[in-house]
Amino acid sequence: MRLSVLDHGHRRRVKSFLLLTSALSRVDSPDITKMLLYRPGFLARPLLELTADAMRGPSYWTAGEREYLAMCTARLHRCPFCVDTHAELTRIAGNGDPDPDDPASARPGLRAVRDFLAAPTAIGVPGLPEQAVLDALRVRLVFDIISRLANAFGFTLREGQLHSGTRALHRFGYRFPRFLLADGATADHGDAVENLRHAVLDAPGTTDPALRTAAANGGPLPEPWRSYATAVRDASYEITGADVDRLTAAGHTEDQIFEVTVAAATGAALHGFEAGRRALGHTTTT
* Cβ–Cβ < 8 Å for 129, 60: yes
CB-based contacts of 256, cutoff 8 Å, min separation 6: 206, 207, 247
Give me the pLDDT at residue 285, please: 47
CA dihedral 153, 154, 159, 161 (to 10 degrees): 40
CA 182 to chain CA centroid, nearest Å: 20
Phi-psi category of 176—alpha, beta or left, where left has phi over 0 and alpha has psi -120 to 50? beta
Can you give the residue range of the structural domain that contains 93?
Answer: 4-279
The answer to whether residue 38 is domain-embedded is yes
Look up residue 206 and give its DSSP letter: S
Peptide bond into 98 cis (omega under 30): yes
Question: pLDDT of 122-131, one tens digit each?
Answer: 777 889 999 9
Give me the pLDDT at residue 189, please: 73
Look up residue 101 and give its DSSP letter: T
Look up residue 30 and give its DSSP letter: P
The answer to whether residue 49 is domain-embedded is yes
For 197, other C-beta atoms within 10 Å of its C-beta total: 18
Give me the pLDDT at residue 286, please: 41
CA dihedral 196, 202, 205, 209 (to 10 degrees): 130
The answer to whether residue 248 is domain-embedded is yes
The answer to whether residue 284 is domain-embedded is no
3-state helix, strand, coil in the chain (%, to 5): 65, 0, 35
The answer to whether residue 285 is domain-embedded is no
Question: pLDDT of 27-38, one tens digit each?
Answer: 999 999 999 999
Q: Residue 192: CA atoms inside 13 Å, Cβ hemisphere, count?
A: 16
Number of domains in the chain: 1
pLDDT, one tens digit for every residue, the chain (286 residues): 899 999 999 999 999 999 999 998 899 999 999 999 999 999 999 999 999 999 999 999 999 999 999 999 999 999 999 999 999 999 999 998 999 999 999 999 999 999 999 998 877 788 999 999 999 999 999 999 999 999 999 999 999 999 999 999 999 999 998 899 987 666 787 899 999 999 999 999 999 999 999 999 999 999 999 999 999 999 999 999 999 999 999 999 999 999 999 999 999 999 999 999 999 988 654 4
pTM over the 0.85 mark: yes
What's the Rg (C-alpha) of the chain? 18
The answer to whether residue 286 is domain-embedded is no
* Cβ–Cβ < 8 Å for 262, 269: no
Q: Which of 200, 163, 153, 179 is nearest to 84 (CA)?
A: 163
Torsion sign across C-alpha atoms 264, 267, 273, 275: negative
d(CA 166, CA 88): 7
For 176, other C-beta atoms within 10 Å of its C-beta total: 17
d(CA 78, CA 80): 6
**DSSP per-residue letters across 146-179:** HHHHHHHHT--PPTTHHHHHHHHHHHHTT---HH
CA dihedral 93, 94, 100, 106 (to 10 degrees): -140
Phi-psi category of 160—alpha, beta or left, where left has phi over 0 and alpha has psi -120 to 50? left
